[in-house]
Structure 1
């Protein structure tokens, strides 16, 4: 206790110097804690992005996404090829068609059954009424697929076709969205019968409300009566204006046996997305386009990874700076107290006791600085983390294809990095108990290491030399 008491008293012999040292150390410790907070917040955001974006790749017929033409439909053989590709754990084959109202004038065309491009027709009709108003684009597309001469709707002798319904045929026990994420079933159950004779169906909440349907009710589609097995919620009004039917049944009824519109390939790990994409591209050849669910994900993760490295470097540099400050201050103190150290050693004080006294003295200053530094970090960590992310994303956007003003990502493009920036969103950077404990432990360790050298210097002080100089 005497050693500790002397250490506390010695720490404030020179109050001005001690105050200045505490303030400088507080800034260094606050910056170190802020960098640690930013590092952990970015690491959490990377994990969140990888989890939310999913680990699915989308396979489309070549040219289909841009309606360039010349492409051929995917087939069940393509799905089998995709399932055998490296890092692919599962495939979800789907066939997308559109159905017109039974009383509409929309033309039926198996060739244009996709209905997603100009001139696309419908695969058949349904008794369901769309829950979404067509709007300008919907009416324009429906008229293109109606096989008419292109006269405006409402003209004499021309009936406007009803808005077509999107139907997705799936061959698995769960409905999934474009990124491979399972759609939430609000009532009923998933599809269980996938035979060509199946009559099961899943419908969106919007479509169910519009047509006053509940689980167990029936409707007609493709000239077959289907029973509502479940009702799903996909999150938006447009996505909830859709129907999921068994794949084999739709292929037969639409006259597209063996054909697929899209294949979703589930990758065994988010880290293997690039390898899986290359493997699928090589296996499927030029007849298919393989794309990730989110073009901006890689850019966002790469940018955050660079910010994570910067914050870790800043944390280490701040700790080293704090250690050097302690080292220099304690070396100066030891030199000032050479006479006192010599007297203590002359009366029998061991080197270990004297060294521990100086270590405790430095720890007193560090603990005070840590208290102030914690306040600095609590107040500034969020701003520092945000500034690091903003700087990192801006640099990545400027370095990407298309430069800072162009590219495929829109403003700040960089080859889709505009999407990556949107994916990052807000960064939650708070000084939690775990982060505080880890940071302070590192600070105290550096403080001990920084004060050991001055403490060891006391062992070299010979009492006889000090006393001879008196």
Structure 2
């Protein structure tokens, strides 16, 4: 009988014990494979985040702060300059316009502070046939006060320039001018490429994205609240200044105010606003978050540090990636621990088997079997049990890996929140990040301080591919072989004469 056939037969001598060993090994191997799959899934998510999230840079004219002005405008030539900087994947320029309804009088210029009136200082860029979908309400009218009052009081006995004397008493000449009712301007943004590359992500619910970026383009994306207010659908027409525009799509940006907006092709917006080649801001996509700081400095140098302000997004992405890095380390440690446990189980089982078969080993040696052949037999016997455990463990890993990686991410987010805070507030943030108080424990369901990180992570999907399975099983078989080798070497110490004398 061959050594392999004898090893397979010996593995099932004691079926109850072999079954128990296979189950224990399956649990350890299943955990090891799950940790390996989690490690690879988290590594893929980190790579994805580095390449697509948190690697945006915003370029504004130096000193510019929204509608308060400052600096000189950027130009389309700056787009080409920025595109040539190392590690820049794409550049998207935008031009912001403010449109009023053509049937109403444009708001008057801002009055000095203390006399009422708007302090935002942003001028209108043109008119449109559309009516704003956002009512200014009390706050809007308060910030953009529409009434001014002036009065002149002549005191008793004052002499007029004509020499006539005013009658005794007070003469009051007053005038009150009521300006037209204020309406919220409609924000129009000209974009040079993908809308989502230049602003917060939007969802086009009807129609198609912009695809004609010529100066004569009549395409427009209209927000859902603005479209509903003006009864617009895909294909409807409206005007901006003297141009008739056609609705190519309707989008949802998440809020009623953001949906009171329009997206236009950049060159068309420049033509309509009579601002040729001008852009308000640039959004620069860097190829990886690791290169953001270097690219930020390179952009400032290329465009002129005195001409532009280059800013990066908040550091939330870095902390999120750091948290995922901790999960990756934990999963690697878990894989090593589970594989080591499987090896220890094999070691203890084979030591027990060798002790039970001392008489058999002595007889085999007495009839000429070598120490090598006997040791290999025990190693093969252990590997048979490990292979069976690996098959069952792979099934367990494929079923449980998603739950395990979700638990690891949620737990780590909660721990990070607790470390970031202290006392009651730290505990509250930890419980909220972990899905406490009614929140979801799955990635993306966190609430509180780390809800944004959970939203960035989203769902981490795991897959037990054949490459992962082969890599994991080979590592487990190697550890199992080493665990069986030590008991196999003990067979060399068995002396046939001592075993036979004891019979």
What band does the TM-score fall into relative to the shorter chain? 0.7 to 0.9
Larger radius of gyration: 2
Q: Extract unaligned runs of 5+ from structure 2.
A: 112-117, 150-176, 434-445
* TM-score after normalising by structure 1: 0.76
Whether the aligned pair in 1 keeps the contact of 2:55 and 2:289 (CA below 8 Å) is yes
| Correspondence 1:192 to 2:213 | yes
Cα distance in structure 2, aligned partners of 1:401 and 1:64? 35
Counting only pairs closer than 5 Å after superposition, residues 51-450 of structure 1 correspond to structure 2 as 53=53, 55-61=55-61, 71-72=70-71, 74-76=73-75, 79=79, 82-107=82-107, 118=120, 120-130=122-132, 132-134=133-135, 136=137, 140-141=139-140, 144-145=143-144, 148-149=147-148, 159-170=180-191, 172-179=192-199, 186-187=207-208, 190-194=211-215, 198=216, 200-204=218-222, 206=224, 207=226, 211=230, 219-221=238-240, 223-228=241-246, 230-231=248-249, 233=251, 236=254, 239=258, 241-248=260-267, 250-251=269-270, 254=273, 256=275, 259-280=278-299, 285=305, 288-292=308-312, 295-370=315-390, 373-374=393-394, 377=397, 380-400=400-420, 405=425, 417-429=450-462, 435-436=468-469, 438-450=471-483
Whether the aligned pair in 2 keeps the contact of 1:190 and 1:229 (CA below 8 Å) is no
For the aligned residues, what is the CA RMSD?
Answer: 4.4
Deviation track 1:122-174 (CA, whole Å, cap 9, x = no partner) reads 222111233x33364xx734663576559xxxxx956533332111123x354
Aligned to 2:404, the other structure's residue is in SS state helix
Aligned to 1:318, the other structure's residue is in SS state helix
Cα distance in structure 2, aligned partners of 1:181 and 1:334? 66
User: Mean alpha-carbon deviation: is it higher for 355-364 or for 46-55?
Assistant: 46-55
CA spacing shift, 1:337–1:129, aligned 2, 3 Å: same
CA spacing shift, 1:217–1:11, aligned 2, 3 Å: closer
Whether the aligned pair in 2 keeps the contact of 1:41 and 1:429 (CA below 8 Å) is yes
How much has 1:318 moved relative to structure 2? 1.1
CA spacing shift, 1:321–1:403, aligned 2, 3 Å: same
Whether the aligned pair in 2 keeps the contact of 1:175 and 1:190 (CA below 8 Å) is no
Deviation track 1:415-452 (CA, whole Å, cap 9, x = no partner) reads 97542133224444565666555534432333233223
How much has 1:277 moved relative to structure 2? 3.0
Cα distance in structure 1, aligned partners of 2:182 and 2:354? 92
* TM-score after normalising by structure 2: 0.72
Aligned to 2:90, the other structure's residue is in SS state strand
Aligned to 1:94, the other structure's residue is in SS state strand
Whether the aligned pair in 2 keeps the contact of 1:94 and 1:247 (CA below 8 Å) is yes
User: Mean alpha-carbon deviation: is it higher for 301-310 or for 356-365?
Assistant: 356-365
Whether the aligned pair in 2 keeps the contact of 1:110 and 1:123 (CA below 8 Å) is no
Whether the aligned pair in 2 keeps the contact of 1:106 and 1:145 (CA below 8 Å) is no
Aligned twin of 2:46:
46
Whether the aligned pair in 2 keeps the contact of 1:36 and 1:435 (CA below 8 Å) is yes
Query: Matched residue pairs, number?
Result: 450
Cα distance in structure 2, aligned partners of 1:371 and 1:258? 65
